[in-house]
Amino acid sequence: MSQEQKNIWTSKCPGEIKIESKCHHNWILAAIKMLNEENIKLCNHESRNNNDKHRIKGGKIDILELIDKKNIKESALSRKTKDVMFLEDILEADGVKLLKWKHLCKEKGLNTKGKTPNGKNYIITWNDEHDFPIFGEDKKRSQSKNHKRIGIHLELVGEEYDLNNSPYLKKCEGCSRNISKKKGNKECLIYLENEYSRKIERRKDDGLIKPYETLNNIKKKNNWLRKFTQEERRDEIYNERIGKIDSIIKADEEFIMLIKNSIFENDENFSREKRFFLIIDAVKKNS
């Protein structure tokens, strides 16, 4: 039955869909196919949602629900190659707009023209404190303690930007972000963000640079990366605090748990600083 899932590349259980494949001496599929002809299904997940262990998870809407039945078998190999099983697999980060074809191929690590991709053919992007995307090309190692790399600043072309298309980028000739000490040099150098940046493959178009993502998707993904990284950092700090309690304080387990439960992992409801006073009675013993 699981083989039938792979044949038509679906998350659905073979017991709840109509079997279209040839049986090839597989008596289990032959039996299911006979039941299908009588409009009988082995599984009914609409009434028993708790029994879905043989469904493949990863999205809400199976792509088969949007494809004509005559195209299901013909498109199975293509969908499997591109790892597309759910509607969410072909949507941008906002969960609303469809990915463009070339952008989808790049998301899945596939070539659009059959050529071997160049490992250096990418740009680096992140959002600044105002959620505005910054772009750069990696250039050299940085001597700064706070930044690892220096890059060439790329700026958006034009004054109005289309969020639903890939932006056009060009090399900046100098701005407030420029850290270059060479006077008269039209190459704008910037520090590349260490933690909140990511790579996007790019292409050349009419002498300009275009990333394989829409501007809307770039902003959404950059913002998500920043939030995810900050949450990871908070978790690490919280776990370090918990670990210090075990190594510093020697007491019974109930008292240790009391202290651990008093540490706030993430409290965004109050902006004011909280102070707690802990009184510990110590008894000094003569050695």
| pLDDT per position as a tens digit, 74-133 | 777 888 887 787 877 877 777 767 777 677 777 777 665 544 444 468 899 999 988 899
Among residues 198, 128, 201, 120, the alpha carbon closest in space to that of 166 is found at: 201
Q: Which two tokens stand for residue 100?
A: 């463009």
Are the CB atoms for 213 and 198 separated by under 8 Å?
no
Which pLDDT does position 247 carry in this prediction?
Answer: 74
Which pLDDT does position 133 carry in this prediction?
Answer: 94
Q: Which two tokens stand for residue 3?
A: 């083989």
Among residues 54, 95, 51, 107, the alpha carbon closest in space to that of 216 is found at: 95
Query: Measured between alpha carbons, how far is 35 from 55 in angstroms, rounded to an integer?
Result: 20
Q: Which two tokens stand for residue 75?
A: 């498109």
Which pLDDT does position 108 carry in this prediction?
Answer: 72
Query: Measured between alpha carbons, how far is 207 from 176 in angstroms, rounded to an integer?
Result: 25
Handedness of CA 176, 129, 196, 111 (dihedral sign): negative
CA 82 remoteness from chain centre: 17
Which pLDDT does position 24 carry in this prediction?
Answer: 61
Which pLDDT does position 269 carry in this prediction?
Answer: 46
Task: Please provide residue 14's backbone torsions phi and psi, each rounded to the nearest 5 degrees.
Answer: -60, -20
Which pLDDT does position 116 carry in this prediction?
Answer: 41
- Per residue, the 3-state secondary structure of 118-176, as one string, reads CCCCEEEEEECCCCCEEEEEEEEECCCCCCCEEEEEEEECCCCCCCCCCCCEEECCCCC
Which pLDDT does position 123 carry in this prediction?
Answer: 92
Residue spans of the chain under pLDDT 50: 47, 114-119, 269-271
Which pLDDT does position 16 carry in this prediction?
Answer: 64
Which pLDDT does position 10 carry in this prediction?
Answer: 78
What is the pTM (predicted TM-score) of this model?
Answer: 0.56
Q: How many CB atoms lie within 10 A of CB 186?
A: 10
